């Protein structure tokens, strides 16, 4: 009996400790954020950027407007690659048409590829913006069809096999659709001159090179290597040469 009470006491003590640490961390983050904002308003951009990036590194629960402030800082410093990086990070979390247009404008002015207003980029942009409604719509259809199958089963009614197969394919499609934003990753080249290789190895054959600022789609990743599609070719580049957006 005493052991049970002691375990309950330890459990409550542990929960109180975790809750207290979360409060302290939140207060520390807020203090850091206010300091960074103050430096930003004073146009002390280097110091402000350091604090904003410290917040991003140390917490997952932060104000996403930090991305926009960092983009503004690097725009003032003339670092368009870093500006695009933070604008893309914001865009991947929030579908903002003004940010989308800003990204396209910066890329066009600097000759960076991978930001074109093509079907894929538009699809991903609008899908992120309206994904919740898409998921709800497809889920409701799926629930309705599943309910029909159950009712038919209860009433001993025959359900054609091809209907079941179609429903299974529908569920697979729904699963892919829901996980699309998580599986779709892009990178921005951060170094001035990067070699592209045919295999994920430093000793493999160089099939081309790429300069900073370009955005590429990630096909796969192996350790420190990322497989990308560039100029219609599949090739590899190092993790140290890129800024991973998502």
How many Cα atoms sit within 13 Å of 148 on the Cβ side?
Answer: 12
- pTM comes to 0.71
**pLDDT higher than threshold 90 for residue 194:** yes
With CA atoms as reference, report the closest residue to 135 among 174, 193, 188, 184. Answer: 174
pLDDT in tens, 57-106: 887 777 888 999 999 999 999 999 999 999 999 988 887 888 888 999 99
Predicted pLDDT of residue 157: 83
**pLDDT higher than threshold 50 for residue 187:** yes
**pLDDT higher than threshold 50 for residue 18:** yes
Predicted pLDDT of residue 80: 95
Cβ contact 195:207 at 8 Å? no
Residue 128 CA to residue 35 CA, distance in Å, equals 32
Region at 80 (left for phi over 0; alpha for psi -120 to 50; beta for the rest): alpha
163 or 181: which carries more pLDDT confidence? Answer: 163
Instruction: Please write down the long-range contacts of 91-98, taking CB distance under 8 Å and 24 or more positions apart.
Output: 91/125, 92/128, 92/181, 92/245, 92/246, 93/64, 93/67, 94/64, 94/128, 95/125, 95/126, 95/128, 95/129
Do the bridges between strand 194-197 and strand 225-230 make them parallel or antiparallel, or are there none, so unpaired?
unpaired
Q: What φ, ψ does residue 230 adopt, rounded to 5°?
A: -140, 125
**pLDDT higher than threshold 80 for residue 204:** yes
- Which percentage of the chain shows pLDDT scores above 70? 79
Of 1-10, 91-100, 107-116, highest mean pLDDT:
107-116
**pLDDT higher than threshold 70 for residue 107:** yes
Average pLDDT, the chain: 82
């Amino acid at each position: 009996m005493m052991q049970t009470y002691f375990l309950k006491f330890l459990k409550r003590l542990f929960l109180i400790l975790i809750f207290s640490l979360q409060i302290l961390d939140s207060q520390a983050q807020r203090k850091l954020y206010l300091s960074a904002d103050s430096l930003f308003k004073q146009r002390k951009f280097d110091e402000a950027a350091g604090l904003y990036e410290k917040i991003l590194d140390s917490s997952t629960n932060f104000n996403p407007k930090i991305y926009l402030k960092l983009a503004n800082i690097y725009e003032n410093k003339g670092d368009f690659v870093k500006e695009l990086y933070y604008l893309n990070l914001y865009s991947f979390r929030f579908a903002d048409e003004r940010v989308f247009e800003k990204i396209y404008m910066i890329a066009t002015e600097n000759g960076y590829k991978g930001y074109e207003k093509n079907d894929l980029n538009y699809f991903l942009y609008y899908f992120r913006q309206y994904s919740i409604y898409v998921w709800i719509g497809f889920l409701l259809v799926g629930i309705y069809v599943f309910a029909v199958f159950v009712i038919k089963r209860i009433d001993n009614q025959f359900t054609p096999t091809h209907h079941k197969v179609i429903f299974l394919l529908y569920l697979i499609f729904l699963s892919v659709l829901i996980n699309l934003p998580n599986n779709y990753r892009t990178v921005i080249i951060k170094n001035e001159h990067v070699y592209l290789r045919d295999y994920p190895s430093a000793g493999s054959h160089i099939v081309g090179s790429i300069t900073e600022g370009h955005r590429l789609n990630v096909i796969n990743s192996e350790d420190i290597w990322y497989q990308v599609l560039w100029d219609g070719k599949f090739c590899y580049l190092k993790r140290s040469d890129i800024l991973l957006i998502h």
